[in-house]
């Protein structure tokens, strides 16, 4: 199964509420996923809006995810209680919307060693998961791979946390992995290696962020449109289709839905190449399985 969507309200959507963005995503863009963004901070979501998001998404087969605020730091000291509180508030909103996952940036090394940072993030992630369980929240907690050397979140680090904290899932930002590795994703073998590393977690679904990225010396500078970045898209899609992975692809490009639609077109083009057909539906992989 392949799902495709964008992170946030589509730029071309005249209405600027999440409700507007969700309807636009499904009915105008013909996409079946959306990541609701609380990255700059939380706002009060009325019960009616949350109920609409949940009901509409379920009735129209749109998969929802929620991104918590960027400033959460699960490796922090004095501010960690505030970070956990903000993550919990995000999780409660995600639950009300019926979202599949809550995405969190794990934290920063600061003056701490990588091993000490790992210890703190595991400890605080467990605390957050316990609080979510006490509130009977079903939304899954996801930790995102990060694109800067000073930030905790290499692929190996995220996998280690997920292996030690039950129920925590990796969110695979391939642009971040590419930047942190100073342009390491070029061939299909490079993308295959990502999934091989993830195999120890025995996942049945992969949430993948896709964007172009400007980087220098192993550090992300900022996101670029997919076509402007130097990470090739084809090898990623070939890897997914060759193994029939169950994935959700979320465009985090500055072009948002434009690149989400571009992703859809490239997936369908890859399917047609395999089947010899003149058209394809990215939601239906039965002909190539």
pLDDT tens-digit map of 31-51: 999 999 986 655 567 788 889
Beta-ladder partners of 36: 66
Q: What's the pLDDT at 224?
A: 97
Q: What is the average pLDDT across 166-177? A: 97
Q: Per-residue pLDDT for 158 more than 90?
A: yes
Torsion of CA 129, 130, 136, 138, to 10 degrees: 20
Confidence of residue 281 (pLDDT cuts 50, 70, 90): confident
Q: What are the two backbone dihedrals, phi and then psi, of residue 34, each rounded to the nearest 5 degrees?
A: -155, 140
pLDDT tens digits along 96-123: 999 999 999 999 998 899 999 999 999 9
Q: What is the average pLDDT across 212-223? A: 96
Taking the C-alpha atoms of residue 29 and residue 11, their distance in angstroms, rounded to an integer, is 12
Beta-ladder partners of 108: 151
pTM (predicted TM-score): 0.94
Could you tell me which of 257, 268, 245, 217 has the C-alpha nearest to residue 22?
257
Taking the C-alpha atoms of residue 115 and residue 125, their distance in angstroms, rounded to an integer, is 15
């Amino acid at each position: 199964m392949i799902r495709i969507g964008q992170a946030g309200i589509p730029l071309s959507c005249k209405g600027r509420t999440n409700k507007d963005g969700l309807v636009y995503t499904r009915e105008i863009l013909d996409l079946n996923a959306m990541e609701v963004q609380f990255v700059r901070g939380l706002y009060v979501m009325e019960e009616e809006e949350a109920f609409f998001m949940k009901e509409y998404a379920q009735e129209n087969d749109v998969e929802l995810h929620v991104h918590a605020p960027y400033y959460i730091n699960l490796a922090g000291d004095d501010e960690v209680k505030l970070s956990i509180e903000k993550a919990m508030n995000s999780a409660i909103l995600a639950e009300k919307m019926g979202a599949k996952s809550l995405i969190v940036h794990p934290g920063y090394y600061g003056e701490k060693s990588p091993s000490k940072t790992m210890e703190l993030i595991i400890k605080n992630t467990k605390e957050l998961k316990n609080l979510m369980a006490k509130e009977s929240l079903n939304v899954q907690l996801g930790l995102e791979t990060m694109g800067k050397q000073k930030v905790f979140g290499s692929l190996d680090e995220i996998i280690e946390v997920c292996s030690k904290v039950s129920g925590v899932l990796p969110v695979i930002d391939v642009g971040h992995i590419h930047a942190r590795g100073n342009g390491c994703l070029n061939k299909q073998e490079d993308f295959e290696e990502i999934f091989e590393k993830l195999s120890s977690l025995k996942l049945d679904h992969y949430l993948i962020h896709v964007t172009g990225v400007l980087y220098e010396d192993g550090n992300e500078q900022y996101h670029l449109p997919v076509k402007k970045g130097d990470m090739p898209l084809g090898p990623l899609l070939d890897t997914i289709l060759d193994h029939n992975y169950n994935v959700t692809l979320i465009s985090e490009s500055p072009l948002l839905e434009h690149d989400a639609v571009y992703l859809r077109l490239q997936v369908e083009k890859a399917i047609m190449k395999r089947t010899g057909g003149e058209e394809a539906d990215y939601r239906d992989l039965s002909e190539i399985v």
